[in-house]
Amino acid sequence: MYKADVLSKEDVKQIHSASMEILENTGIEFLYEPAIEVFKKAGYKVDGNRVYITEGQVLDNMKKAPSSFTIYALNPDKNVYLGGNNITFAPGYGAPFVLEGGINRKALLSDFENFAVLAATSPHMDFTGGELVAISDVPQKNRHREMIFRLMKNSDKPFIGSSKGKEGARDSINLAKIVFGEDYVKSHPVMVPLLNSFSPLAYSDSCLEAIMEYVKDNQPVIISSVTMAGTTGPATIAGSLAVQNAEVLAGLTFTQLLNPGNPIIYGGASAITDMQDGELSIGGPETVLFVTGSVQLAKMYDIPVRGGGGSLTDAKAPGYQSSWESSMNLMGSAATGVNFILHAAGGLQFYNAMSYEKFILDEELCGMAKHIKKGVKVTPENLALDLIKEVGPRGEFITSFHTFENYKKEFYFPTIADRYTYSKWIEKGKNEFTKAKEIVEERLYLGKEMGILDKETIKRLDEYVNNGE
């Protein structure tokens, strides 16, 4: 399989050792008293809010976690396997703006639902998503319920649970139980929330509350770190990887102490700081280095791993910059052996905006990445020696039955990319943005007629969203 590394085995060991040094001698702050009590009860060294974790404690807990697991969808054909060399995709996450007509505007609930439909109808997105956009036209208290409701109403794929503390976690689980049934949710992973550390070297009460709530029902969690090299981490890639690794392992250890064997995902989302204005920069080549290093570390601990994809660009609008940055980051991540790519489609402006057209353009990248990940199948049939002998010098293969039988399986057929001759391209007169816009309109029209859930289930979900019970 196509795979790339940026660290030698010795490099990985050194970063691991540095992380163990941080955990054991510097420690991690857990800013939530019930979490501190968990560590105390387990016999860990605690000083106030600071927890110190030994290498043995980390490795013992990583052994308890499954090396792979399945997220179950409403449609069994869309179950998602996380582990091994399998790669899966989820759309952009958390952008407060939508780019429309060249202008940023605040994201609305209608945008959220539109992106949920696009993800649901996507041939390449494996998850509907989570906080697809940060909606501005719904009261803060109820936003996470409205989002989870629409993720489930518009798609039969797995979704990403809310990260809004204890309440967001419990509401995500309760809404899922309405659709799947209480016993099913307790025995099957049906979602996976994204929960971030508080860099450098801390965890907030909101994050810890959410972890504790999700594991009560045995739901997987992504424990992620967004260390910013130069601000919340050292300006060196190796140093920031060591900080990220320490943070993630501390959160994963906490998860296993709460519920040994609970499915977990190592989340590496670190990047550099743009030293011109102090903002996060995710479009540069350093992001690929961070993702690749994260995957190598996670594979050493033998747990599934998350990286970033086509939404990882600093560009303000779709164009050359967004194309090269999105391609580099998605293909770079895919080459590492990453299992779960969040921010796979639609994003711009270092996580700040989503674009309908770019969602479709990024989908094309995801399709190509999956095609590359399939690798090359070498069998006597595929080597086709008898056919080569039969055709011989100066012959042709296009009229052979072998070609007819195999080209659809072997070749990738793009939706957006143009392969016509120049004259046909002129005749058709559509560039990639025009094609993408047409696909958005068609998918939104067809997707909203899918009827994923029955009326009674929708009514129960709606009552919960509005009444909280």
d(CA 205, CA 397): 64
- Measured between alpha carbons, how far is 104 from 234 in angstroms, rounded to an integer? 33
On whether both 344 and 396 belong to a single domain, the answer is no
CA distance 177 to 315: 40
Count of structural domains within the chain: 2
386 and 295 housed in the same domain: no
272: containing domain: 65-229+261-374
Q: Which residues pair with 100 in a beta bridge?
A: 103
Do 387 and 340 fall into the same domain? no
The encoded tokens of residue 206 equal 């909101």
**The pair of three-digit structure tokens given for residue 162, joined into one six-digit string:** 């809310």
SS3 424: helix
What pLDDT score was predicted for residue 349? 94
Tell whether 50 is covered by a domain. Answer: no
Q: What is the pLDDT of residue 431?
A: 86
Q: Are strands 340-342 and 271-274 parallel, antiparallel or unpaired?
A: unpaired
Backbone angles phi, psi at 286, to 5 degrees: -60, -30
DSSP 8-state secondary structure symbol assigned to residue 235 = S
Instruction: Measure the CA–CA gap between 184 and 189, rounded to whole angstroms.
Output: 9
Chain-centroid distance, C-alpha 411: 26
In the chain, the amino acid numbered 469 is E
Residue 35 lies in a domain: no
Q: Torsion angle of alpha carbons 377, 380, 386, 387, nearest 10°?
A: -20
DSSP H or E stretch at residue 327: helix 320-334
Q: Tell which phi-psi region holds residue 290, choosing left (phi > 0), alpha (psi between -120 and 50) or beta.
A: alpha
29: which 2 tokens?
A: 């702050």
Same domain? 391 vs 332 = no
Burial 144-166 (b: 16+ CB within 10 A, else e): bbbbbbbbbbbbbbbbbbbbbbb
Strand 221-225 and strand 45-47: the pairing is unpaired
Tokens of 121: 């109808």
Mind listing the pLDDT tens digit of every residue in the chain (469 residues)? 446 789 999 999 999 999 999 999 999 999 999 999 999 999 999 999 999 999 999 999 999 999 999 999 999 999 999 999 999 999 999 999 999 989 999 999 999 999 999 999 999 999 999 999 999 999 998 999 999 999 999 999 999 999 999 999 999 999 999 999 999 999 999 999 999 999 999 999 999 999 999 999 999 999 999 999 999 999 999 999 999 999 999 999 999 999 999 999 999 999 999 998 888 899 999 999 999 999 999 999 999 999 988 789 999 999 999 999 999 999 998 989 899 999 999 999 999 999 999 999 999 999 999 999 888 999 999 999 999 999 999 999 999 999 999 999 999 999 998 888 889 888 887 888 899 999 999 999 888 777 899 999 999 999 999 887 6
Q: What sign for the dihedral angle of Cα 165, 167, 169, 172?
A: negative
Examine the domain organization and report whether 160 and 216 are in the same domain: yes
Q: How far, in Å, CA of 391 to CA of 395, rounded? A: 5
CATH number of residue 290's parent domain: 3.20.20.480
Residue 98 covered by a domain: yes
pTM: 0.94
End-to-end CA distance of the chain: 48
Based on the domain organization, do 339 and 396 belong to the same domain?
A: no
Q: What is the pLDDT of residue 469?
A: 64
Q: What is the largest CA-CA distance in the chain?
A: 79
**86 and 159 share a domain?**
yes
